[in-house]
Amino acid sequence: MENLKKTEELKAIAEMPSLFLRKLKEENGQRILGYFCINTPEEMILAAGFLPVRILRTQERIFLAGKHLQTYCCSLVQSSLECALRGEFDYLEGTVFPHACDSIQRLSDIWAENVGLPFHWNLILPVKLHTESARDYLLSELRRFLRGLEDFCGRKIPDNALREAIALTNANRSLLRRIYELRTAHPERLYPEEFFALVQTAGFMSKEEHNGILQQFLRDVETRKPASPKRASLFLVGSIGDPLALCDLWESCGASIVGDDFCTGWRSVSEDVAEGGDPLEALVDRLISRIPCPCKYNPNFDRGEELARRLGDLVAGVVGHGDGAADGAQAEVGRHRVGHRS
């Protein structure tokens, strides 16, 4: 019962982050900056003394935002603007908009004109990631972002603060990867809503607090009885922004989630930042070498091949742990490979 209570509490926080963050600001005076997209280096926001909060889609009905956006804009863009216009982001001191899709770029202009937070920053990231000039440009852009953060917080941000933020964020990613590995090997031990609540809250809780939650979870789950019997295995791919909303659907279908390729999931934790040398260059190297999202271009990376590789690794891991779901996972690998050749 205690584990179930913890799961329900964490799920409630994941579903209503604004309540959690507003309380944090009121009680602790926490300074908070919001950001869109995993291509924003949250370590820089953290080093500046702010809590970095990733803005995700909500279930809000759209009324106010419809006056500013076309109806074909995605749910993230529409729901986030709706919340901002309603004053539900009153705990934010500012927002960072990376150069991502067209809708996010235009949202930045609308946000600046109509929301008016003290700090507003456009992080103009390169689209091509494979050239030396792209790396040089990205380094200069992160230096510009650093100066902007320094001007806003009123102090210099030393390299050691960046290194500490990198180490803390790497620790968080590492713990989440361990939980991913656990889910792949023993999906029957984890409730889907529990897993995605752990992943989603990483985007807005302090790293120290969240790392403690992850460490305790890993200790508890070692002796846990299966949360559900072994069932059909699913590997999820897409741009879904709120997997918690679909957990009941997956459960009702009798499926176990053994892997994902969400930007709000695996792709947000798959790579660390090097902890030696110049911290800004280390952040640049991660952004350049990480698995690119669809709004970035790297001819050295093939998405179909990467998905097939991950699914192959998953099958090998499933077989290695004697899970009876291997045949279904192997079929999924074959389906992706055929789709890639076509």
Question: pLDDT (tens digit, 9 = 90+) per residue, 322-339?
Answer: 343 333 333 333 333 323
Identify the three-state secondary structure at position 122.
strand
**Is 57 a domain residue?**
yes
Q: How far apart are CA 15 and CA 243, in angstroms?
A: 11
**Is 273 a domain residue?**
no
Asked if residue 1 has pLDDT above 50, the reply is no
**Which of the residue ranges 89-98, 115-124, 296-305 would you say has the lowest mean pLDDT?**
296-305
Identify the three-state secondary structure at position 34.
strand
For tokens 């305790």, what's the residue? 216
Let me know if 169 is exposed, middle or buried by CB neighbors in 10 A (0-12, 13-18, 19+).
buried
Q: How far apart are CA 93 and CA 32, in angstroms?
A: 6
Q: Give how far Cα 171 sits from Cα of 97, 212, 214, Å.
A: 25, 11, 10
**Is 143 a domain residue?**
yes
Report pLDDT digits (tens) over 135-167.
999 999 999 999 999 999 999 999 999 999 999
Structure tokens at 300: 């050295």
For residues 190-210, average pLDDT: 91
Where is pLDDT greater, at 219 or 329?
219
For residues 229-254, average pLDDT: 74
CATH of the domain at 38: 3.40.50.11890
pLDDT of residue 246: 76
Where is pLDDT greater, at 225 or 289?
289
**Is 90 a domain residue?**
yes
Encoded amino acid at 318, one letter: V
Asked if residue 61 has pLDDT above 90, the reply is no
Structural domains of the chain, count: 1
Nearest to 125, CA basis, from 106, 144, 149, 110? 144
**Is 135 a domain residue?**
yes
pLDDT of residue 321: 41
Hey, which residues does 255 pair with through a beta bridge? Answer: 232
Query: Of the spans 48-52, 75-79, 184-188, 314-318, which averages the highest pLDDT?
Result: 48-52
pLDDT of residue 332: 38
Where is pLDDT greater, at 132 or 335?
132
Q: How far apart are CA 318 and CA 326, in angstroms?
A: 6
For residues 89-111, average pLDDT: 92
**Which of the residue ranges 9-23, 87-101, 151-165, 242-256 would you say has the lowest mean pLDDT?**
242-256
Nearest to 57, CA basis, from 244, 236, 223, 337? 244
pLDDT-based confidence at residue 225 (cuts at 50, 70, 90)? confident
- Domain residues for the domain of 114 are 27-157
**Is 132 a domain residue?**
yes
Q: How far apart are CA 283 and CA 54, in angstroms?
A: 18
Let me know if 303 is exposed, middle or buried by CB neighbors in 10 A (0-12, 13-18, 19+).
middle
Q: Give how far Cα 95 sits from Cα of 27, 92, 122, 196, 321, Å.
A: 22, 7, 9, 24, 44
**Is 8 a domain residue?**
no
Is residue 263 within 8 Å of residue 295, measured between CB atoms? no
**Is 64 a domain residue?**
yes
Q: At what angle do helices 159-185 and 303-320 cross, to 10 degrees?
A: 60
